[in-house]
Structure 1
Amino acid sequence: MKIGILSYRSHPFSGGQGIYIRHLSKALQRLGHQVTVLSGPPYPHLDSSIQLVKIPSLDLFESENRIKEFKLSFLYSPIDFYEWISVMTGGFPEPYTFGRRVLKYLKQSEKEFDIILDNQSLCSALIDIQKLYPLVVTIHHPITKDFTLEMENASNWKERLSSRRWHSFLPMQKRIAPKLQKIICVSEPSKLDTVTEFSVNPENIDVILNGIDIETFKLDTSVSVIKNRIVTTASADIPLKGLRFLINALPRVISDFPDTHLVVIGKSPNESKIRKLIADLGLKERISFESNLSEEEIVSIYHKSQIAVIPSLYEGFGFGAGEAMACGVPLISTHSGGLKQVIGDSALKIESGSVKEIEESIIKLFNEEETRTELSRKGRERMEEYFDWKIAAKAYIDLFEALIK
């Protein structure tokens, strides 16, 4: 089968999209299928057997001076001009502009596909694309969840206005989702939220759990664990990840375990509320941020950490939780959204937004070696049994074959 995978951005070192694209494409290829990834920048790191078709954008979010990026040629390219104007006025046009560009490529290219899989661009061009090819669209979770939490956490009207402008692609996604032939959601909660938020017929949605790369994220008992080190995966500037609740829990933990240190796998805060919170609590020397890491570097951090904490307010799936469990790191996690399906009974569960439960759970695990050992074993076993990418890839192929027939 010739499979084309669309992804408007596929950052290899941050966020779940690059992880999803890299491992799903590899797993599908291993089953004997021909996979081509069509991606906008930042481009994914793919297995050498996978063909990458680059669909260039203006990539303005990587520019330090976006005004200087303007070119007179934009006046003759409606898509380029729209992208530049949108970014300059605080918007996020990439899902839409990627769709127009990839549609043009598909119409002009001699490359043939048996089926197209879209990675949550939910762009207007998908309506035309599904007239050309059988189309399946993955929705990890409705971005309306992110938007709602950002609005709730906005401090003033300027922040609310900025969030509304950034999420101005949402009306397009809400309009397109109900018109799609087939949707894959990565967890049952994600499906329920997609039905509610995007008004999609539940019969058009199949649930296929993501996989975890259990060959890379694995146990290594030869590595010495650093006592009282905590690891989490979270971007400092995204309220959805709940990092502030974990940070607020640290002073109590440090009072009992003075050498506690938190490693955050994610972007360091600039002038964000998180940075101010860290300074106000006097935790600058207790928290380090690590970003743009290779998978090997991430695995090394997991292996050296005594416990992992996922304080997310919502996750469509939860790669960070799965990767920690695959590495045998005892896990404390909320059970919001898709995390409930990922962790099962193999982690200490906490309620979203509860600083007290985070404090108590960290102290409990630091004190109880037997509990840490049990969670380490159960977490790894759960990933091996249910979350191998081979399982996910086979489910995708079954769905593709049924749709093509």
Structure 2
Amino acid sequence: MMMTGSALTDEAAEAETLVHSTKTDKPRRIAILSYRSTPHVGGQGIYLDYLSRALVERGHDVDIISGPPYPEVDERVKVIEIPSLDLYAQPHNGHFALRPRHFKRGEDLYEYFAHLTGKFAEPLTFGERLKRYFAEQKPQYDVIIDNQTLTPGLLSDALQKTPIIGIIHHPITQDRQLALDAEKSFRKRLLIRRWYGFIAPQIKVACQMPIHITSSGAIKKDIMREFGLKSEQLRVIPLGVAQEDFHPRDDVKREPLQIITTASADVPLKGLIYLLRAVAKLRDDLPDLKLKVIGKLREGATSKELEALSISDMVSFESGLTREELARAFCAASIAVTPSLYEGFGLPCAEAMSCGTPVLTTDGGALPEVVGDAGLVVPKADPEALATALRTFFKQSDELKAELGRRAFERAQLTFNWSRIAPVYETVIEEAIAR
């Protein structure tokens, strides 16, 4: 079944009313924490750039304290680097990266041997290094914003002297469950559980923090259920988009049979396989249909599916795009599709809407809340529903397609505008400081 997205939940609608809150006259010194921050490996790095830029535009002094790979942010934002072993960026996946100097610090040894045995240890080891940095350097901040590291180091005396606001984009328990559901091998299922071993400590830390921000009412409910947080611990604030970059462009012509989607990682959560299957179903009806995937094609489930479906000639992959190049790609597409099984928000969908591009999403996580009544929504993990929605869309008149794009653009201007969202962050910052 195809439908327009639902309206904002009560929590998100309440957040929208907060944008009229009075801006504090006192600029704040703010630290944002993130254990890995590059915008090229996922939406959290993009979020860091957007948030820090919005806060400095409001007159605040912002530092990002990050492990590698480091963020790419506005020159007014200071980046404080907390080096790690960065094993995923090393040759041979870091298995031969151990050096004598690493024996001097327990977190280096732990990171190496945890990685060697399939456990993702970066949140925990980042917290240990962060603890040392605060104890030795004694930086002074009015507030700390934690970008879902949820590391036990946050509870140390060195950091607890400063109010801390948590950011929970979505409960990672969902990623773990979707990965387990997609894997039949008992051995690989054990490895998945091992890799996600960081979740239990994160939940314990989250429960002890008084204030968290999340980006949708739907995800707030999931966090409460999965993490055991109380409603009063969570504030809902939608994400914003850099609308100076993502906007309609008169000099870009829309390709009449061009679909665009974003999949930065070959993981089940992104649902790319279901979109590929939908495209395969449309070959006979729409032989000139093209799908552009923003992301790298790696050996794995996606490459195998492309071969099995024999649609490699219909699908292209692009990566390493600048923000302007990505915006132009959205503007050139007839429709942007987000086929995810679950999203804490769905930033590429909001970026496409900001470009005036019609959007089609699944009902996974917060996506219906993002598109509201300005996009098309189908059930997740349903290639037939995706194919039916796309077939119907491409058979519409140019006027109806343009109307869907106009509605998407108008909603984006209202809902994903950092000039309206940043004051809400200030309200929560002042609340945390007042505590």
Give the TM-score taking structure 1 as reference length.
0.97
Q: Which residue identity does 1:307 align to in structure 2?
A: I
Partner of 2:219: 190
Question: What 5-or-longer segments of structure 2 have no aligned partner?
Answer: 1-27
Partner of 1:56: 83
Q: Which residue identity does 1:13 align to in structure 2?
A: H
Partner of 1:156: 185
Q: Which residue identity does 2:317 align to in structure 1?
A: F
Q: Which moved more, 1:204-213 or 1:229-238?
A: 229-238
Partner of 1:107: 135
Deviations 1:193-217 (Å, cap 9, x if unpaired)?
1111111121111111111111111
Partner of 1:403: 432
Cα drift, residue 111 of structure 1: 2.7
Quick one: distance in 1 between partners of 2:320 and 2:88? Answer: 16
Residue 400 of structure 2 is aligned to residue 363 of structure 1 = no
Quick one: distance in 2 between partners of 1:88 and 1:310? Answer: 34
Q: Which residue identity does 2:401 align to in structure 1?
A: R
In the TM superposition, what are the counterparts of 1:332-371 in structure 2 within 5 Å?
Answer: 332-368=360-396, 369-371=398-400
Q: Is the 8 A contact 1:246 1:311 kept in 2?
A: yes
RMSD: 1.2
Quick one: distance in 2 between partners of 1:370 and 1:336? Answer: 29
Partner of 1:301: 329
Cα drift, residue 235 of structure 1: 3.6
Partner of 2:55: 28
Q: Which residue identity does 2:346 align to in structure 1?
A: G
Quick one: distance in 2 between partners of 1:32 and 1:251? Answer: 51
Deviations 1:112-151 (Å, cap 9, x if unpaired)?
1000000000111111255221000000001000000000
Q: Which residue identity does 2:50 align to in structure 1?
A: H
Quick one: distance in 2 between partners of 1:144 and 1:209? Answer: 21
Q: Is the 8 A contact 2:169 2:345 kept in 1?
A: yes
Percent identical among aligned pairs is: 38
Matched residue SS, 2:317:
strand
Q: Is the 8 A contact 2:131 2:159 kept in 1?
A: no
Quick one: distance in 2 between partners of 1:363 and 1:250? Answer: 10
Deviations 1:70-112 (Å, cap 9, x if unpaired)?
1012222100000111111111111111111112112211431
In the TM superposition, what are the counterparts of 1:296-335 in structure 2 within 5 Å?
Answer: 296-335=324-363
Quick one: distance in 1 between partners of 2:193 and 2:432? Answer: 37
Moved over 4 A (4+): none
Q: Which moved more, 1:28-37 or 1:152-161?
A: 152-161
Quick one: distance in 1 between partners of 2:168 and 2:421? Answer: 15
In the TM superposition, what are the counterparts of 1:56-135 in structure 2 within 5 Å?
Answer: 56-65=83-92, 66-128=94-156, 130-135=159-164
Matched residue SS, 1:41:
coil
Deviations 1:329-363 (Å, cap 9, x if unpaired)?
11111132111221001111111111111111111
Partner of 1:11: 38
Quick one: distance in 2 between partners of 1:10 and 1:371? Answer: 40
Quick one: distance in 2 between partners of 1:404 and 1:274? Answer: 47
Matched residue SS, 2:202:
helix
Q: Is the 8 A contact 2:143 2:429 kept in 1?
A: yes
In the TM superposition, what are the counterparts of 1:139-288 in structure 2 within 5 Å?
Answer: 139-270=168-299, 272-288=300-316
Quick one: distance in 2 between partners of 1:286 and 1:14? Answer: 25
Quick one: distance in 2 between partners of 1:325 and 1:373? Answer: 12
Deviations 1:219-258 (Å, cap 9, x if unpaired)?
0122122221110012452111111110011122121111
Matched residue SS, 1:3:
strand
Q: Is the 8 A contact 1:236 1:243 kept in 2?
A: no
- Higher relative contact order at CA 8 Å, sep ≥6: structure 1 or structure 2? 2
Quick one: distance in 2 between partners of 1:273 and 1:111? Answer: 45
Q: Is the 8 A contact 1:14 1:266 kept in 2?
A: no
Matched residue SS, 2:337:
strand
Quick one: distance in 1 between partners of 2:304 and 2:432? Answer: 51
Residue 391 of structure 2 is aligned to residue 378 of structure 1 = no
Cα drift, residue 269 of structure 1: 2.3
Matched residue SS, 1:227:
coil
Q: Is the 8 A contact 1:263 1:288 kept in 2?
A: yes
Quick one: distance in 2 between partners of 1:175 and 1:236? Answer: 28
Give the TM-score taking structure 2 as reference length.
0.91
Partner of 1:393: 422
Q: Which residue identity does 1:178 align to in structure 2?
A: C
Cα drift, residue 25 of structure 1: 0.3
Quick one: distance in 1 between partners of 2:381 and 2:399? Answer: 27
Quick one: distance in 1 between partners of 2:95 and 2:182? Answer: 30
Q: Is the 8 A contact 1:365 1:372 kept in 2?
A: yes
Partner of 1:44: 71
Q: Is the 8 A contact 1:14 1:291 kept in 2?
A: no
Partner of 1:136: 165
How many aligned residue pairs are there? 404
Q: Is the 8 A contact 2:361 2:368 kept in 1?
A: no
Matched residue SS, 1:226:
coil
Matched residue SS, 1:264:
strand
Deviations 1:257-310 (Å, cap 9, x if unpaired)?
11111111123221x122111101101121112222211121121122111111
